[in-house]
């Protein structure tokens, strides 16, 4: 059976070959071109659906969004297509990440120590943390469930006469609650990917991360791809820094 390390060793497909990922010394390949392409398509369609959705949902507050899409009627027409674009690209990403996102007993243990993660009381994540940590997996599965809810409720709202008033009213409530839950998760996701954990954003821009980032946040993945002990890598890096401080 392939491990998450095998899965993310570079096996280029046609889209990977359209782009280029340069991995410098001291870095590791994190996300190849195909994964990055899907991620940013998901991101673009998510925000198009979100902005057009807010324009329709709360037009008296977000009336400045509708002109961006050509007016109220056009926004209403485009929103379901933006939503379908989001679900389509996320479905491809879900297939791409399915194995790496599978929940394991180590993830259940990670959840029990989530307080340490939030308070940053350890200099490195638990040694069992592989390619994705349990928090990332939870967000992924929330998006899978949310996407299924969007498609079912969205189709009901798109063709209201087919489903009847009661079902369409229920669909509105579920659709809007799903959107708010996902927006809340994405807010944390963007914070952690940028300011919260410096060095993460380049995983989705250049496709690489530093080795130090890898042993800090995903020690088991670091060990799988390099064959080196993450704890020892950290100790050696600290010794090198102390030596540099002494000679400076």
List residues binding ligand HEM (CB under 6 A): 30, 39, 42-43, 46, 132, 136, 139-140, 143, 186, 189-190, 193-194, 200-201, 203-204
> Residue 201 Cβ, how far from ligand HEM at the closest point, in Å?
5
Of the pair 99, 160, the CB lying nearest ligand HEM is at 99
The span from the CA of 230 to the CA of 212, in Å, is 9
CA distances from 15 to 12, 37, 148, 224 (A): 8, 8, 26, 26
> Residue 8 Cβ, how far from ligand HEM at the closest point, in Å?
10
Of the pair 186, 234, the CB lying nearest ligand HEM is at 186
Of the pair 159, 184, the CB lying nearest ligand HEM is at 184
* Cβ-contact 125, 200 below 8 angstroms: no
Residue of 208, 216, 224, 235 whose CA lies nearest to 25: 208
> Residue 36 Cβ, how far from ligand HEM at the closest point, in Å?
9
The beta-strand segments (E) located in the chain are 27-29, 208-210
Of the pair 148, 241, the CB lying nearest ligand HEM is at 148
In angstroms, the first-to-last Cα distance of the chain is: 49
Of the pair 203, 233, the CB lying nearest ligand HEM is at 203
> Residue 168 Cβ, how far from ligand HEM at the closest point, in Å?
25
* Phi, psi of 208, rounded to the nearest 5 degrees: -125, 165
> Residue 33 Cβ, how far from ligand HEM at the closest point, in Å?
14
């Amino acid at each position: 059976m392939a491990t998450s390390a095998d899965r993310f060793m570079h096996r280029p497909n046609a889209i990977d070959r359209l782009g280029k990922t340069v991995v410098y010394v001291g870095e590791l390949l994190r996300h190849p071109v195909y994964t990055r392409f899907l991620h940013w398509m998901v991101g673009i369609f998510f925000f198009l659906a979100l902005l057009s959705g807010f324009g329709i949902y709360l037009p008296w507050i977000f009336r400045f969004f509708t002109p961006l899409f050509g007016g109220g009627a056009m926004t209403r027409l485009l929103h379901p297509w933006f939503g379908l674009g989001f679900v389509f690209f996320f479905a491809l990403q879900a297939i791409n990440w399915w194995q790496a996102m599978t929940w394991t007993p180590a993830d259940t243990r990670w959840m029990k120590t989530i307080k340490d993660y939030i308070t940053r009381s350890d200099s490195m994540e638990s040694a069992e943390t592989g390619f994705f940590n349990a928090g990332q997996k939870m967000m992924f599965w929330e998006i899978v469930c949310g996407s299924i809810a969007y498609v079912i409720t969205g189709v009901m709202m798109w063709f209201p006469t087919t489903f009847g008033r009661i079902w369409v009213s229920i669909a509105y409530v579920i659709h809007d609650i799903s959107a708010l839950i996902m927006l809340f998760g994405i807010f944390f996701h963007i914070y952690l990917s940028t300011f919260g954990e410096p060095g993460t954003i380049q995983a989705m821009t250049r496709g690489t991360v530093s080795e130090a980032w890898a042993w800090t946040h995903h020690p088991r993945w670091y060990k799988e791809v390099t064959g080196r002990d993450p704890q020892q890598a950290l100790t050696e890096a600290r010794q090198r820094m102390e030596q540099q401080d002494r000679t400076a």
